[in-house]
Structure formats: structure tokens, C-alpha cells
Amino acid sequence: MGEVVYLSLGSNLGNRESYLTRATERLSQMVGLKLLAESSLYHSRPLDCPEDCPDFLNKILKLDCSLKPVQLLDNTERLEIEFGRTEKNARANRVIDIDIVLFGDRIFKNERLEIPHPRMAERAFVLIPMYEIDPEIVDPRTKKKFSDMFAAVGDQGVKIVKETNVE
């Protein structure tokens, strides 16, 4: 058994639900990863994007991971490219976006990766599905519960689209 990791998946181009479903399947089939839980599907308005940016569908995956953080990042970036993502820009539209939110209780930072995700506490589309999967989850850096972080930012218009919780 490895460490529990949480990945945030988002898509705002094409058949968003299909991309999220396919990415979930591919991630759960990767060596070193085992799907433990999957949040419901959520609709969110884009944050930090141009005004004409299409809305997102988002979900959170909870996985058992026996990889190192940078190995997981390499795998998620390869998957994004496989799905057709051409640029890793926070303001760009995305067929699929995969972010590592938490990696066990690790606090890690290098030039490519920061864990916990540095903007997770500002994003209801991360906080709400994280709370759905694990109501007691805590940020290892600040020791704050995700429910308290959500109370601070509000729902930001995030709405459930489809219940898909699998445990």
C-alpha cells in the first residue's frame, strides 16, 4: 500500500464528461495507482481565465499511489498530452487538466510541483468534492479542515451535475 493522493480533474472543451470519464479510467489503470473513491461531477465557472472561457466540469479522485510525487506528475502530464492538451497555462482552455492536490501528508516543492496544491484553498471546485469524498480531510500545511476552507470562500457558483461517488 502506498500513500493516498487526491487529484483534481477538470475539462472545459468538447465532451467534458467523456474526457473526465476517460481520464479517470486511464489513471485507475496506471501502474502504481489504484482508485479508492471518485467524487460527483461538478459544474464551475472558470477562475483566472478570459471572460469568454467555457465553463468547466470538475471532479476529484482519491487514489492509492506507490509512485513518487514527480513520477505521478510525469504520468499526469503525459496523460494530458495524450488527450490533446498543448499548453500548460492556467489561463488556457483545456480538454483535460489534472492537478495533484494532496499527496499523503507531504509538503513538497520544486520548480515543477508544489504539494499541497498552492491554490486549493481558493477553489470551491476543489474544496467541495474533496469534502464529499472525505469530510475530515485536513491540509497538512495549515492543519485546516477542507470544510473550514470552503466556509471561507463559499460555493463560487459550483453546482453538482451528476452523482458518481464510488468507494
| Catalytic positions | 85, 94, 97, 99
Q: HEC profile for 40-76?
A: CEEEECCCCCCCCCCCEEEEEEEEEECCCHHHHHHHH
Evaluate whether 59 touches 99 at the Cβ level (below 8 Å): no
- Residue 77, classed as helix, strand or coil, is helix
- Relative to beta strand 41-44, strand 159-162 is antiparallel
- Residue 36, classed as helix, strand or coil, is strand
**Whole-angstrom distance, CA of residue 9 vs CA of residue 31:** 19
Distance, CA of 145 to chain centre: 17
